Structure 1
Amino acid sequence: MAWIKHVRSAIKWLSVVLAVLLSLFLVHQCFLPILAFVFPSLSSAFFDLGVYGFYPTQQFISFDLLGPQPKRLRWDDRCDKGYIMTTPNGPSVERPGPMMLDAKGELVWISDDFGATANFKVQRYKGEDYLTLWSGEKAATSGKGVYFMIDSTYQVVRMVSAVGENLFGDLHEFKITEHGTALLSVYNTTTADLRGMGRGRGANGWIVDNLFQEVDLETGELLFQWSAAANFDPVETYMTNPFGGYWESIPFDFYHLNSIDKDSLGNYLISSRHFHHVTCISPTGEILWILGGRDNQFKDLSDGKATDFRWQHDARWVSEEEGILTLFDNQKAGPIHSDAPASRAMFIKLDIPNRTAELVQSFESLQGILASSQGSVQVFSDSHQTFVGWGSAAAYSEYDQAGNLMCETHLGASWFYWFERFKSYRTTKSFTWRGNPKNPPQAKIDDDSLFVSWNGATEVAYWALEVSRDEASPEAERDDPAPGAQTEALRSQRWENIDIIPKTGFEGAFDLPSVPSSEKPFTHYRVAALDKEHAILRYTELIGYDDDDTESSTLMILFKLFLVIGILAGVRLMFKFYRSGQSFRSWSNTQKPVWADWSPPSTYVRRARRSMPFEWIQMKWTGARRPR
């Protein structure tokens, strides 16, 4: 019959397509890695093709978290200073959290203690530098959580919350001002008249009202609050959401406030992604002017190129005197909102009295990245260089004053950026951060090598390997109580310095020497972290070669034993099941144990999910001290 012929033809073509896809997969996963090994010059192209994975990582022996394997597509020595702050998250990131890299993309510090994080950067408060970040529970394109301030020893010293009942800090902004206050964003679900949007939306539709607050850091007092819903009609949004606004569980995010800045006159500069505009608000809450969007009040002197930004982020003043601000122009918001082939960093000059706007500069990435979300622009006042984080694309770039691309680093495969496998809300750079971790360096022996690392330390220039032939006392087995200090037990133990290596990358490695049988064997090793003047910063804990080797061997023996027991037990159960005359089909229809179908009530799940981040916050905050 004819339909059988059509089915056979469809199966034939489906088989051909599957065979082609399988062949491409095998070439991608097997042949290309071999080709990259033979021809190293092709590694950059293969990196962006995802041959090494969407987000290639490297493992360490002395440290249990993964670091990135960056690919520098362009490099200039003028970029070789400072530390890069990013917050990896996405499907390819196993354990999200704040991450600090050196200028070349090598790991410096990483933590998974904070879970989902955003807005990680260095800020100054009362003359000291702090790492600041948002942490909490993400919900679609916003978040409910708090902000943390972390000192140079990587200890939490202050937690900042939004002010108001049932209000929580949002991930988009936490900026410390020079007056000791903090600007923070708050996303709050409420009702509004959405009849003008049509499609059955009512007078009490559900929206996300975007608030921002200014809070006194010392007292926690609310100094100022502004509401987008009180000033703009949700009907005027550019965002489309066919399901938004009908139910409280799916509110319409009509405004999407994503950055807050403040000028010397006390006026606030805010960016709205879904209104395509940048707005200036007075200290009394009055709207002073609007740049871009439907309500643009500026004449564009650059043939529309200064006001045609779309879905933008991170609007900041660079020079109030010259009227220059920067922003990250995404030009895309998801698959159905795409307005240009590439995202860009923009410098816009405003003549506020005469209401004119002019595009001064715009920068694109080396490969024309189009970032559908997130992104940041940072200008360094000393060098006038510009650092751009590409948001949902795993990349960052640096430009000179003339706008020439100096450096670009990829942390993920650029051909798959549209999947958003690795993303960071903002990526920033600091030249002032100095990290002196409270925890000591970590060392571990693997085979005939000793590996050492110190998570977060920025002043280490060398590693020094020391050995002892003496039996250590119990006191000596513990780490010295303070950086550079030694206990009496350690001072009485004799140590020999047998090797010094420069610190390159996150982890250093020593080849352990063999000891002639005529000499007394080494009993313990330790590694000293040295600064550039060879002064001792801190010692690792003592480590014995035989103990470490015995422990590894014991664990492997236990693993193999349990594996054999598990296989034998499984075979016995299968044989017993077969002898009983049952089948897998009949077993699936028999009564299942209670735990197989058990799930907590939905109300319990919602309550647990709401309480989890706040229980965790209480735990993190316990014992934290306030900066003086």
Structure 2
Amino acid sequence: MRFFNTSLSLVLASTALVAAQSATITAPSGDEQCSSVPLVQNCVAIMQKGLDKCASSDWDCKCSGAANIFSCYADCVGEDRVSAELLSEHDCRTANAYDKGRSTVNDVYTTPSPNAIEATPTDATTTASAKSTSEPTKSLGEKAAPSKGAAQKGPPEFNMEPGKGLRFNPFPASLGPNYNWRLTIRRPLARLGALHLLSPFFPDVTVLAQYSSDDLFSFVTLPDVRALKFNIEYHNRERVSPGYWFVSPYLHIDPDPPSSLYEQYQIGPHIYDDEGRLVWTGSQQFDNRNVFDFKVTNSLGSDPHLSMVLQHSWDGGEDSGFGIVLRNDYEQDRKLPLRRDLGIFDIHEFNIRPDGKSALVSIYLSHEITLEDFGRPGEPTWLESGGFAEIDMNTAEVIQWWDSFNRIPLYESVHYGPDSAAEGHPGWDYVHINSVDKNEAGDYLISARFTNTIYMISGINGDIMWRLGGAYTNFQQDFTFSKQHDAKFVESNGTHHIISFLNNASDEEFNEENMSSSMFVELDTGANPMTARVIRRYNRPDSELSRLRGNTQQLPNDNVFTCWSKGGYISEHGADGELLFTANFTSPRYSSYRGYKFEFTGRPNTPPDVVASVSGTDETNMVTSFWVSWNGATEVATWNFYAQASEFHFPVLVGSTPKFDFETMFVSAGYLDWVSAEAVDVNGTVLGKSEVHRTKYPNWKSVGYKGKSSHPRPNDPSIIYQASDKTGGDNVIDEAGRTSSDAMDTQTQKTIQVLNHSYEAIRNIGGLFAFILLLCLFCGVVASYLVIRGWRVRLYQRLKMEDGFPEEQAHLRSTHHED
């Protein structure tokens, strides 16, 4: 029983191989960093048997065997893992060269990897460049000519002995102190050890592609999902606030039309932990549609909820967008439309109020006007105004709404002027509302990007109470900001207010400052004149500009979490301004309009997903690999894995492993056909169980199976695991002195196991035995019928008279004679 977590990469090295001293090692010692050294030793020993059976010229067999051994080191970090990696690389490249009829194999691509190992050059002039070779007959036996000033290099040598293992020494002492060596992880292995046998079942998905170096995750259990990866840099991990990241990546800000092409799920609402590991993807739940303002709301009951804006459909038809609320089991709680006369449900804001009774949304409306304000009377144009609406969270009825038309004059816009050309519908977007908030007094705070102004709107009559920023500010201020987003109340008490917002300082065309920043501003509206001052400012860590979108969030511990939008760039600062971490999508193609950080407990009501695959070269080294995930579950600490002899048998525990990633892998001995998994929390409470699945198997002939029969038969897990475990346990306890009742219990268990084994043996005869029984039964019935019928014939046979005729005929003859 062996298990390995899938959080470590299963990749191959493309290396500059140097002269190595031939040596032999066992599987990892205590110095090797592995999750479980004994399990790795057992795994290597089993896989070694398969490799030992390979003929010297059977490179396909050697590739599979070496890759199987390398897969045993999935949870290890150290020299033995590197050695196994290099041997697997060599054998598989050689097999590949034979298959393609050439002597060298070029890399398909070269990418950096977090597992790359580099030896720091001691002499820059003598650095040896990395080169991958796979010549089947001579590349490992020839010595490369040394470059000028470099140490002599010899052929790499591997030594694998039965039952022991292998060692490759990348730094032989004979090379001298000036030798420079570089190992670069380049590409995933075409045959991923014992796991490559899964590939026939997922022909369009690279097995274990989540361990490659591309910019998207792939998962065996969710093959249609390609979630984005994060690059993360921590500066002070200890001060980071707890919580998950809530992002909604998009590729295009406008909805895409439907396509007949297959599209994997990449966009929509996603939750990540602080290691950048996926926790939940809702991409498939919302059919790969754009989602915005995805966050946690805690005002709709005792359990947390998730809220978001589902963008309108691409054709602007009946689906004009919705405000969506999910429970923490990820099932829909409510779906709120916007009244049709207020336009589509805008993507900028879905702000559920603390009492949970209403929500604020941004709106955009179009009006046809004349350009009198710009000295062009009689010239018409369309104008797109901005505003907000407050809607009921139960009925979606509009409580009240506000529009900038005839309230914010045209000349306040910095986006249009007297020389701007008239436009058709929808018209000039002259204010561009991008956020709305409300204080306890019932007044509203809105951000207008194209006036560089934050407005306070009276909740009584809709009048503008004051302007902060822009050309018409009502405050005495010694700072500037522009093209801002996400203005929110931090505090609001009478004439004293603290607000936060993202100062973009730029748009697509211009910039007023050299970098964007997250700002906290204190306002005194009771002073004359009113004053505003910056009390906290956090500059964008890379000193760049966020020209579009973004938001800032004050966390419960007073840290500040900021989403700078483009590329999914996020950061967290301490209240004192210390940068704690930064992260961004590995793929620059995607962005997230906003990003948030919250503590959250997810409890999906769907079962965990499990996939299992069997592999091996003969009956002696069969292994079953499990992959399990549970989309959205945040409390899983451990996975238990079960197998059963058939769908009617009881499951047998075959092992367990801690959960370290979205998808966890487990490897167990034997061919286990009916499998399942069970999620357990830190207290040992079972959270959920998967359905029972059949294990997938390959075309045994095509993968080189060399067993006694054409294909292996599944093992009974109760014999492989339960029986062996109990037998071992009995021996130990007997030596310590067992009671007679304990011995009887043990004997009973063994008797049951023998009976089960006998039952399975009879059951394997199956159809033939049943056919013979039915045939015998049929023959018996026919024979019995014939015997009984024969007796009845003899019993009722007519008796002959003395003259030889039956009684009736004799009587007739006598009567005839009398006439």
TM over 0.5, shorter chain: yes
Q: Is the 8 A contact 2:412 2:472 kept in 1?
A: no
- String of CA shifts for 1:587-628, please: whole Å, max 9, x gaps: xxxxxxxxxxxxxxxxxxxxxxxxxxxxxxxxxxxxxxxxxx
CA separation of 1:207 and 1:537: change in aligned 2, threshold 3 A? same
Letter in structure 1 aligned against 2:683: E
Pairing 1:318–2:485 present: no
User: Which residue among 262, 278, 283 is the counterpart of 1:107?
Assistant: 278
Pairing of 1:38-49 with structure 2 (within 5 A)? 38-39=117-118
- String of CA shifts for 1:340-378, please: whole Å, max 9, x gaps: 221110011111111101111111232123111111111
| Structure 2, unpaired ranges of 5+ | 1-107, 121-181, 187-210, 254-263, 616-623, 703-819
Q: Give distance in 2, aligned partners of 1:316 and 1:337.
A: 25
Q: Give distance in 2, aligned partners of 1:164 and 1:266.
A: 25
Q: Give distance in 2, aligned partners of 1:150 and 1:299.
A: 44
Q: State the secondary structure of the residue aligned to 2:321.
A: strand
Pairing 1:174–2:350 present: yes
Q: State the secondary structure of the residue aligned to 2:349.
A: strand
Q: Give distance in 2, aligned partners of 1:35 and 1:501.
A: 24
- String of CA shifts for 1:171-208, please: whole Å, max 9, x gaps: 1111111231111111122222335457x896431121
Letter in structure 2 aligned against 1:357: A
Pairing 1:438–2:594 present: no
Q: Give distance in 1, aligned partners of 2:538 and 2:525.
A: 24
Q: Give distance in 2, aligned partners of 1:134 and 1:317.
A: 21
Q: State the secondary structure of the residue aligned to 2:450.
A: coil
Pairing of 1:220-299 with structure 2 (within 5 A)? 220-240=396-416, 245-248=422-425, 251-284=427-460, 285-299=462-476
Pairing 1:63–2:238 present: no
Q: Give distance in 2, aligned partners of 1:255 and 1:53.
A: 45
Tell me what 2:56 maps to. Answer: none
Tell me what 2:123 maps to. Answer: none
User: Which residue among 75, 81, 84 is the counterpart of 2:242?
Assistant: 81
User: Which residue among 340, 345, 356 is the counterpart of 2:513?
Assistant: 340
User: Which residue among 580, 589, 594 is the counterpart of 1:406?
Assistant: 580
Tell me what 1:377 maps to. Answer: 552
Pairing 1:528–2:678 present: yes
- String of CA shifts for 1:223-261, please: whole Å, max 9, x gaps: 21111112112233112599874211x521111111111
User: Which residue among 536, 560, 563 is the counterpart of 1:386?
Assistant: 560
User: Which residue among 392, 395, 398 is the counterpart of 1:216?
Assistant: 392
Tell me what 1:309 maps to. Answer: 481
Cα distance, 1:530 vs structure 2: 0.8
Q: Give distance in 1, aligned partners of 2:468 and 2:214.
A: 37
Cα distance, 1:36 vs structure 2: 8.6
CA separation of 1:138 and 1:468: change in aligned 2, threshold 3 A? closer
Letter in structure 1 aligned against 2:222: F
Q: State the secondary structure of the residue aligned to 1:331.
A: coil
CA separation of 1:174 and 1:166: change in aligned 2, threshold 3 A? closer
Tell me what 2:535 maps to. Answer: 360
User: Which residue among 355, 363, 382 is the counterpart of 1:206?
Assistant: 382
Q: Give distance in 2, aligned partners of 1:40 and 1:239.
A: 55
CA separation of 1:502 and 1:194: change in aligned 2, threshold 3 A? farther
Q: Is the 8 A contact 1:194 1:234 kept in 2?
A: no
Cα distance, 1:280 vs structure 2: 0.6
CA separation of 1:363 and 1:80: change in aligned 2, threshold 3 A? closer
Work out the percentage of aligned pairs sharing the same amino acid. Answer: 25
Pairing 1:513–2:592 present: no
User: Which residue among 495, 501, 507 is the counterpart of 2:657?
Assistant: 501
Pairing of 1:541-560 with structure 2 (within 5 A)? 541-545=691-695, 548-549=696-697
Q: Give distance in 1, aligned partners of 2:511 and 2:328.
A: 42
CA separation of 1:166 and 1:293: change in aligned 2, threshold 3 A? closer
Cα distance, 1:323 vs structure 2: 2.3
Tell me what 1:150 maps to. Answer: 326
| Structure 1, unpaired ranges of 5+ | 1-28, 47-51, 474-492, 515-520, 555-628
Q: Give distance in 2, aligned partners of 1:53 and 1:189.
A: 49
Q: Is the 8 A contact 1:244 1:251 kept in 2?
A: no
Pairing 1:96–2:267 present: yes
Tell me what 1:618 maps to. Answer: none
Q: Is the 8 A contact 1:207 1:245 kept in 2?
A: no
Letter in structure 2 aligned against 1:185: S
Letter in structure 2 aligned against 1:544: R
Q: Is the 8 A contact 1:396 1:410 kept in 2?
A: yes
Q: Which has the larger radius of gyration?
A: 2
Letter in structure 2 aligned against 1:333: D
Q: State the secondary structure of the residue aligned to 1:549.
A: coil
User: Which residue among 349, 354, 358 is the counterpart of 2:522?
Assistant: 349
Tell me what 1:37 maps to. Answer: 116
CA separation of 1:87 and 1:55: change in aligned 2, threshold 3 A? farther
Q: State the secondary structure of the residue aligned to 1:362.
A: strand
Q: Is the 8 A contact 1:55 1:68 kept in 2?
A: no
Q: Is the 8 A contact 1:529 1:536 kept in 2?
A: yes
Q: State the secondary structure of the residue aligned to 2:239.
A: helix
- String of CA shifts for 1:85-126, please: whole Å, max 9, x gaps: 111012699632111111222111112232111110111333
Q: Give distance in 2, aligned partners of 1:35 and 1:441.
A: 29
Letter in structure 2 aligned against 1:407: F
Q: Give distance in 2, aligned partners of 1:393 and 1:286.
A: 38
- String of CA shifts for 1:125-157, please: whole Å, max 9, x gaps: 3324211111123789xx951111111111112
- String of CA shifts for 1:362-418, please: whole Å, max 9, x gaps: 11232123111111111123x1111111112421111111111111112136xx6xx
- String of CA shifts for 1:537-566, please: whole Å, max 9, x gaps: 111111222xx2259999xxxxxxxxxxxx
Higher RCO (CA-CA < 8 Å; seq separation 6+)? 1
Q: Is the 8 A contact 1:80 1:104 kept in 2?
A: no
Tell me what 1:124 maps to. Answer: 298
Q: State the secondary structure of the residue aligned to 1:320.
A: strand
CA separation of 1:62 and 1:36: change in aligned 2, threshold 3 A? closer
Pairing 1:453–2:629 present: yes
Q: State the secondary structure of the residue aligned to 1:87.
A: strand
Q: Give distance in 1, aligned partners of 2:360 and 2:114.
A: 51
Pairing of 1:461-480 with structure 2 (within 5 A)? 461-469=637-645, 471-473=646-648
Tell me what 1:25 maps to. Answer: none
Q: Give distance in 2, aligned partners of 1:86 and 1:282.
A: 32
Q: Give distance in 1, aligned partners of 2:344 and 2:114.
A: 51
CA separation of 1:34 and 1:536: change in aligned 2, threshold 3 A? closer
RMSD across aligned positions (CA): 3.3
Return the structure number with greater strand share. 1
Matched residue pairs, number?
474
User: Which residue among 182, 186, 191 is the counterpart of 2:363?
Assistant: 186
TM-score of the superposed pair, with normalisation by structure 2: 0.54
CA separation of 1:362 and 1:175: change in aligned 2, threshold 3 A? same
